């Protein structure tokens, strides 16, 4: 039996999309209605069976990711949510669903809300239609406005907008046009995720890379985004995520703070009590036989320390020296002698003593965020 009184989060992977975007390396593909229905039943069964082993845990968040979860009909989301309630959920459980413009209808949104979805994450990327076409997106700006208006009318008040910078054809001016257009929405979204495009191996962009903004422009676009959002009342709480006060994504914070989470569906990853594992990636095998756990890894103390540092430093509040000490029984400065001091001298890290005087937080500076991968790599044990 699992330990009592623990928290966990739930991730549900929906691997279906209308068509693959040119930059996408996620585990997703188009599928027939029949296959989608089979998948819904299989993932619901997986959730119910797994819940039996975690009766003393409570879920603080649920996240439908993909792929394009909004391809599923309202009844299908309801069916999966019925299975999710095999777990105990906290009263204020955050339940998110990723939605793409062009796949949403008023009827779907009404059923999603009825099923318990209380947070939408809308994949916009850009308000410039030429940029959307260059990315291979299926929607245009008008589709986005229609989707957003419909979500607000349905009663969703916790909405995230996904944006992307350093994309083909993007300029300083077009980036600002998108940002200002999003901020002029009524009401404005309470959360904005703004990621730079990364060209991944195995994608059409990798095989035939389009003309992209150079590194200097990429950093300028990041700074523009940060400045405009900060002035508009958004707090950057993670390198690429901004929220109005009280609306930071609880589910993503679980990842960055190394909380417990269970993943369902093909390819979904889990971390439970310092054991990482994932489901097999084959759709046919999953539909026929169910989930098979793969890549099971019990993290060593050193690996836990590494994750504590490189995940924690993604957050603007940084990492706590007191929490490091209580988690591992060792001082952060003893485990990583000289590293923090080196990057403080270089202006890439900063420290702040908490009001109680018994804790210190270490975080990236603005310059440190620009080269965050270099800094974080120094906290890995080679």
Q: Strands 269-272 and 275-279, how do they pair?
A: antiparallel
Question: How high is the pLDDT of residue 22?
Answer: 76
Residue 253 to residue 354: CA distance in whole angstroms: 21
Question: How high is the pLDDT of residue 75?
Answer: 97
**Residue whose token pair is 């095989």:** 207
Interval 287-335: pLDDT, tens:
999 999 999 999 999 999 999 999 999 999 999 999 999 999 999 999 9
Question: How high is the pLDDT of residue 3?
Answer: 44
Interval 65-93: pLDDT, tens:
999 999 999 999 999 999 999 999 999 99
CA angle, 120 as apex, 157 and 279 as ends, to 5°? 150
Kindly state the average pLDDT of the residues 277-286. 96
HSE-up of residue 138 (Cα within 13 Å, Cβ side)? 15
Interval 116-151: pLDDT, tens:
999 999 999 999 999 999 999 999 999 999 999 999
Residue 363 to residue 203: CA distance in whole angstroms: 33
- Quick one: pLDDT band at residue 208, thresholds 50, 70, 90? confident
Question: How high is the pLDDT of residue 382?
Answer: 59
Question: How high is the pLDDT of residue 158?
Answer: 98
Residue 46 to residue 87: CA distance in whole angstroms: 12
Q: Which of 303, 333, 313, 310 is nearest to 321 (CA)?
A: 333
Question: How high is the pLDDT of residue 70?
Answer: 97
- Quick one: pLDDT band at residue 5, thresholds 50, 70, 90? low
Asked whether 8 and 262 are in contact (CB, 8 A), the reply is yes
Q: What is the pTM of this model?
A: 0.95
Q: Is the pLDDT of residue 1 over 60?
A: no
Give the least confident one: 149-153, 162-166, 216-220, 332-336.
216-220
Mean pLDDT for the chain overall: 94
Q: Is the pLDDT of residue 347 over 70?
A: yes
- Quick one: pLDDT band at residue 256, thresholds 50, 70, 90? very high
What stretches of the chain adopt beta strand conformation (E)? 6-14, 57-66, 88-99, 119-125, 159-165, 191-196, 235-238, 241-243, 261-264, 269-272, 275-279, 293-298, 319-320, 349-353, 360-364
Question: How high is the pLDDT of residue 253?
Answer: 97
Q: Which of 355, 262, 329 is nearest to 7 (CA)?
A: 262
Residue 1 to residue 189: CA distance in whole angstroms: 42
Tokens representing 24 are 């996408």
Give the least confident one: 41-55, 203-217, 311-325, 367-381.
203-217
Q: Is the pLDDT of residue 170 over 90?
A: yes
């Amino acid at each position: 039996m699992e330990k009592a009184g623990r928290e966990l989060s739930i991730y549900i992977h929906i691997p279906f999309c209308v068509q693959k975007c040119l930059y996408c390396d996620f585990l997703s593909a188009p599928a027939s209605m029949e296959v989608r229905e089979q998948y819904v039943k299989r993932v619901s069964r997986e959730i119910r069976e797994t819940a039996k082993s975690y009766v003393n845990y409570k879920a603080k968040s649920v996240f439908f990711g993909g792929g394009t979860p909004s391809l599923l009909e309202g009844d299908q989301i309801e069916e999966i949510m019925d299975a999710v309630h095999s777990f105990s959920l906290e009263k204020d459980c955050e339940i998110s669903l990723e939605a793409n413009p062009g796949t949403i209808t008023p009827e779907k949104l009404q059923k999603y809300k009825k099923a318990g979805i209380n947070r939408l994450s809308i994949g916009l990327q850009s308000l410039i239609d030429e940029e959307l076409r260059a990315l291979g997106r299926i929607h245009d700006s008008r589709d986005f406005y229609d989707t957003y208006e419909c979500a607000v009318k349905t009663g969703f008040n916790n909405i995230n907008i996904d944006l992307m910078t350093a994309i083909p054809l993007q300029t300083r001016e077009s980036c600002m046009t998108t940002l200002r257009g999003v901020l002029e929405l009524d009401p404005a979204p309470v959360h904005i995720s703004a990621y730079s495009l990364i060209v991944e191996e195995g994608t059409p962009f990798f095989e035939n890379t389009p003309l992209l903004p150079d590194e200097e422009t990429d950093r300028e676009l990041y700074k523009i985004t940060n400045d405009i959002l900060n002035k508009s009342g958004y707090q950057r709480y993670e390198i690429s995520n901004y929220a109005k006060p009280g609306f930071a994504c609880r589910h993503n914070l679980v990842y960055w703070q190394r909380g417990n989470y269970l993943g369902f569906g093909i390819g979904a990853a889990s971390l439970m009590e310092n054991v990482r594992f994932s489901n097999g990636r084959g759709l046919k095998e999953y539909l026929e036989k169910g989930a098979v756990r793969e890549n099971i890894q019990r993290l060593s103390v050193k690996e836990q320390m590494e994750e504590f540092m490189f995940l924690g430093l993604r957050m603007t509040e940084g990492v706590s020296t007191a929490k490091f000490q209580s988690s591992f029984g060792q001082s952060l400065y003893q485990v990583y002698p000289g590293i923090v001091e080196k990057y403080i001298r270089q202006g890439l890290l900063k420290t702040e003593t908490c009001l109680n005087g018994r804790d210190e937080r270490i975080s990236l500076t603005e310059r440190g965020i620009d080269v965050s991968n270099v800094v974080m790599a120094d906290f890995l044990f080679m």
